[in-house]
Amino acid sequence: MKERFKPGIKGGVALGVLLLLVALPVYRFFIHAPTVKTAVAVDGSVARTIHGPGTVQSRFPVSVSARITAVVTGLHADHGDRVRRGQLLAQLDDRDLAARAAAARTDLDLARANYARDREVFDKGYISQAAMDNATAALRAAEARAREAGAALSHTRISAPAAGVITARAVEIGHTVGPGSVLFRLVDPRALWVAARIDETVVGQVAIGQPATIELRSGGRVAGKVARIVLESDAATRELEVDVTFDAPLERFAIDQEAMVAIHAGEERGLVIPASAVFQLGRAFGALVVTDGRTEFRPLKTGASDGARVVVREGLKAGDAVIRLPAGIKPGARVRAVPDGER
């Protein structure tokens, strides 16, 4: 009885071992292989957006400077004030110059009277041509002195050469200023732009007139357009300056305020995958492609990206399945791929 039962036990054990050997890889695959979401590379298009940091600048900054040496006796504008063309900004001490101008006008009146008298007697033949020439020269000299004194007196009134907003005041009452001393700086809010820094590898895709979005660090997002491309690269950063104007004047601004520019440079067609699928491995950028349950790292050459999707120029073919979020997954690993839309 025992001898007939032993083969049955041995057979059962052998069958169990066989089933275990068959089931173990399946168990390992479904239990230990991580589940990953995949996306398929498909033909499509992605808006080409080029980003770069920059600062708010004036296209035509205006410096208001003194033209004479004098003491500041009055201030009539300050930082942040909006001024009109010709508006008085500051007053310089004019006492000496006013006295000089008055004396010059008195001298001019006398020279005119002498000239008129000498002209009358010259016409009657009572004085020589030389005497008449002297009277003429004296009148011209008096006129020049009066003009010079009047101009110097006018320079004591510091006025706005153009309408705009005062962005800086560099003097106080009691300061002594001289020719060339900057008293104020002002800008026209309609002549502002962002001087953005764009990497030279992508600046070739930028063109004058392209629309842009400007995000100010102080808050707010406004529309603009590319107005100028400076064709000189910074030797240290390998960036070029691209100037983007505002579509509408800013109500509030600060010169040198930081901003981020996004230039909308058309679109690019090609194979499209999620931008999250692209990562760096060593020195290469690429994605993990799933084939027969195993991952393979594929180096990629990418193009336009809108932050959510990216165009792949080289490295994939249509239908390739890439892992959406490859963090923690190694090349060559076994995975259980779940396509988009499935659980």
Average pLDDT over residues 16-33: 55
| pLDDT of 20 above 80 | no
pLDDT of residue 25: 55
Under DSSP, is residue 102 helix (H, G, I), strand (E, B) or coil? helix
End-to-end Cα, the chain, rounded Å: 54
pLDDT of residue 117: 94
Angle made by CA atoms 170, 176, 177, in degrees to the nearest 5? 60
Check the CA dihedral 31-37-43-49 and report its sign. negative
Average pLDDT over residues 329-339: 94
| pLDDT of 24 above 70 | no
> What's the pLDDT band for 1 if we cut at 50, 70, 90?
very low
- Burial letters for 323-336: b for 16+ Cβ neighbours within 10 Å, e otherwise? bbebeebeeebebe
Q: Domains, the chain, ranges and CATH?
A: 31-47+269-339 (2.40.420.20), 50-59+191-267 (2.40.30.170), 63-93+156-187 (2.40.50.100), 94-152 (1.10.287)
pLDDT digits over 249-264, tens only? 888 888 999 999 999 9
- Residue 340's nearest CA partner among 294, 317, 309, 307 is 309
> What's the pLDDT band for 186 if we cut at 50, 70, 90?
very high
Average pLDDT along the chain = 89
| pLDDT of 66 above 80 | yes
| pLDDT of 14 above 70 | no
Token pair belonging to 272: 């499209």
Give CA–CA dist 260/196, Å, rounded: 8
Beta strands 35-40 and 336-339 are parallel
> What's the pLDDT band for 342 if we cut at 50, 70, 90?
low
pLDDT of residue 16: 54
Dihedrals φ, ψ of 255, to 5°? Answer: -65, 140
> What's the pLDDT band for 5 if we cut at 50, 70, 90?
very low
Of the chain, the percentage scoring pLDDT greater than 90 comes to 77
pLDDT of residue 76: 96
